Structure 1
Amino acid sequence: MENITNKFENIVKYVYEAGYLKHLKRAGWSMLGIPAPESVAEHTFRTAILGYMLASLEGADPQKTATICLFHDIPEARIGDLHRVARRYIDAKEGEAEAFAEQMQRLPEEAAKHVTALFRDYEEGLSQEGVLAKDADLLECLVQAREYQVQGYAGVSDWIEGCYKGLRSASAKQLADVFLRVDPQEWWKGLKK
């Protein structure tokens, strides 16, 4: 009975740790003076949606892509969200790898194997889904920057340009073009009674 209890307690600890991402703010936006930037969990949520959509458009597996997106920033619960200036001095990849390996020790063996394969696919772009998950991550950052831009934060153009340059799939580039053209408030216009 002790092993079953430990297994469930470890899963619970992992889920609590993932929940911490709801409180962890994306660090780069603070450099622009954005007083209440999005959390890592908020970023992850929309990244998963974008991953699903990109995979649908590109003929890849939407579920696999969205699942990769869900796990792509889990190590940040331990190392934080390091902005590009911090990454100049700190090897984030090494820290993420170490944090991720320790996090996987909490999961049942089969789940850990599966999540590790998804994480590796994201990091190394081993499949079309891994490449699209990376595109979704960049595209979500571009979308968030666009929303901040419309709110009057002028310094986000550097984020928009950098994310756009990193996109690899045709669908991600086409979506980015539309995101940059359409006002973020457009979705609700005409829906009010």
Structure 2
Amino acid sequence: MCSDHDGTGAMSFIFETGVLKRAARTGWWFAGVEHPESIAEHSFRTAVIGMVLAAMEGADPGRVSMLCVLHDTQETRTTDMPHIARRYLTAVSNTVVTADQVADCPPAAAEAIRAAVDEYEAGETREAIVARDADKLECLVQAVEYRHQGIADVQQWIDSSRAALRTASAHRLADAALTGTPMAWLNPQAR
């Protein structure tokens, strides 16, 4: 049974994650994207990709999706720092940020969230490896979509994302993304 305080703490975390719907993925500004997708939009599709990859790789789709949903929640407090900024700034680890974010949540919820973030950050389990691939693959897919929308300077995102992929299934999906077109699903007869 949760106390009123537990409900307040959980709702505080839920409200905080809502900020991700309004927070832009900032690295795309360097490529010339005027209105990049939000962190929440990125996390949603990362979770979908993670579910697909997990099924392809024999990992737990539910666990992978959870890791994907939570992988950038810390950015409510740190923002989406582009890679160039990381050369000049030092930030605390995502596990520390997450612990602060869930400190007032019900203990079971706090532990579940902390454990998922810890697992993702450690990157050692099959689920964490797949979730990390899903994150990189989502970036690659977004770059392909932006390129099809006329944003020319996205190749470095494609290259760095592809180079970071670890699973065979992620490489197959990357190949399909790079040889396909984002709107092909609208015309099934053309496949």
1:99 matched to which residue of 2? 97
1:189 matched to which residue of 2? 187
User: Percent same amino acid among aligned pairs?
Assistant: 41
Q: Contact conserved, 1:25 with 1:38, CA < 8 A, in 2?
A: yes
1:52 matched to which residue of 2? 51
* DSSP 3-state at the match of 1:153: coil
* DSSP 3-state at the match of 2:27: helix
Q: Which runs of 4+ in 1 moved over 4 A?
A: none
Q: Contact conserved, 1:25 with 1:40, CA < 8 A, in 2?
A: yes
1:41 and 1:133 mapped to 2: Cα distance? 16
Shift of 1:95: 5.0
1:29 matched to which residue of 2? 28
**Pairing of 1:9-158 with structure 2 (within 5 A):** 9-92=8-91, 94-158=92-156
Aligned CA distance change for structure 1 residues 31 and 159 (closer, same or farther; 3 Å): same
1:106 and 1:189 mapped to 2: Cα distance? 49
Q: Contact conserved, 1:79 with 1:95, CA < 8 A, in 2?
A: no
Q: Contact conserved, 1:79 with 1:96, CA < 8 A, in 2?
A: no
Normalising by structure 1, report the TM-score.
0.93
* DSSP 3-state at the match of 2:153: helix
Normalising by structure 2, report the TM-score.
0.94
2:93 and 2:26 mapped to 1: Cα distance? 16
Amino acid at match of 2:62: Q
Unaligned segments of structure 2, at least 5 residues: none
1:173 and 1:127 mapped to 2: Cα distance? 19
1:60 and 1:96 mapped to 2: Cα distance? 23
Amino acid at match of 1:49: V
2:188 and 2:99 mapped to 1: Cα distance? 48
Amino acid at match of 2:84: V
2:26 and 2:93 mapped to 1: Cα distance? 16
Shift of 1:98: 3.1
1:60 and 1:98 mapped to 2: Cα distance? 27
Q: Contact conserved, 1:43 with 1:140, CA < 8 A, in 2?
A: yes
Describe the superposition over 1:29-51 as per-residue Cα deviations: whole angstroms up to 9, x where unpaired: 01112111000000000000000
Shift of 1:116: 1.2
* DSSP 3-state at the match of 1:31: helix
